[in-house]
Chains A and B, each alone.
Chain A
């Protein structure tokens, strides 16, 4: 499996929820393809440098990677941290809008001449929950949830946007799911991960959930104290194998 593609990366405009034109970051391997696609859902801190680095990593691995800017409506052109603050102050991203934006990103990739028609999603933290949400809402070929909280247990009631637990949506999962978690995480807890596993098993879904000892939340975040290299390296290997199986 070749995994060192030359690439190009650029900012593009895609059609998101409600027909809105939103900004997105597109990193894609050079050449005719065909290539699988990955919609990378950014975390709550925003459409930031780290997220774009991850997109380029997937392009380097041979996937068309597209990151919709979920905060484009609240703060077009703003710096990622200011945009995240503006979105939080306005209540965050509603679930319905997220699904519409991811649907638009999936359709954008599938319409590219270099696409093989297969598209998956991945997200970290709040993006992990949203990757799961997309996978139970629209047809996908694969989905990865990296330590997404509030899948089994709903966010606290004081959060302005209503976000229900997604556990009872497990039956609607449209694609294989890979979940990567840390044993020391509190959101989600290992008990919540076990509960999710039971529910997916009960509905006969195809899934792999792994939880790493000695790791907590955000163990992929190389610029944060939470970074755990052993978990991150193994996690990327699992993501690579998972995407190769379902997106190539």
Chain B
């Protein structure tokens, strides 16, 4: 299925490394849909992009659901740890 679900997150002070090196990120698209490369019918995909730099200014990941969930928890845990250090 093409799920059509797409969440878009605006990004500030964020960078990614693409085929031409580092570039500033402006948004991330998060969606569960067909992967291009991962060996699964559907994956949780994230495109970190900067349209002003062109379509190739993109860092893409295709994650199976358990991996995506583990990553999400790890990110949240990292944020909580950062808060405890900075508050």
Interface of A toward B, CB cutoff 8 Å: 43-45, 74-75, 78-79, 81-83, 85-86, 88-90, 92, 125-126, 147, 149-150, 155-156, 158-160, 163, 185-187, 216-218, 224-226
Contact = CB atoms under 8 A, between A and B. Distances in A.
Contacts of B8: 89, 160
Contacts of B4: 92, 126, 149-150, 155-156, 159, 163
B56 interface: yes
Nearest to A76: B55
B5 interface: yes
Given A81-B60, A150-B2, 15 more contacts: A45-B34, A74-B55, A75-B54, A75-B55, A83-B55, A85-B60, A88-B6, A89-B27, A89-B29, A89-B47, A126-B2, A149-B2, A159-B5, A163-B4, A225-B39
B41 A218 contact: yes
Interface in B30-52: 31, 33-34, 36, 39-41, 47, 49, 51
Contact of A82 (B3, B6, B41, B56): B56
B81 interface: no
Per CB-CB distance, the 7 closest pairs between chain A and chain B, nearest first, are A187-B1, A78-B55, A155-B4, A75-B55, A82-B55, A86-B55, A159-B4
A45 B45 CA distance: 12
Interface string B45-70: 00101010011101010000000000
Interface residues of B, number: 25
Contacts of B56: 78-79, 82
Nearest to A186: B1
Given A155-B4, A159-B4, A82 B34 contact: no
20 contacts: A45-B34, A74-B55, A75-B55, A78-B56, A81-B60, A82-B55, A83-B55, A85-B58, A88-B29, A88-B47, A89-B27, A89-B29, A89-B47, A125-B1, A125-B2, A125-B34, A159-B6, A160-B8, A187-B1, A187-B3
A149 B47 CA distance: 23
A158 B2 contact: no
A245 B60 CA distance: 44
A75 to B, nearest CB: 4
Contact of A156 (B3, B47, B58, B60): B3
Contacts of A187: 1-3
B41 A225 contact: yes
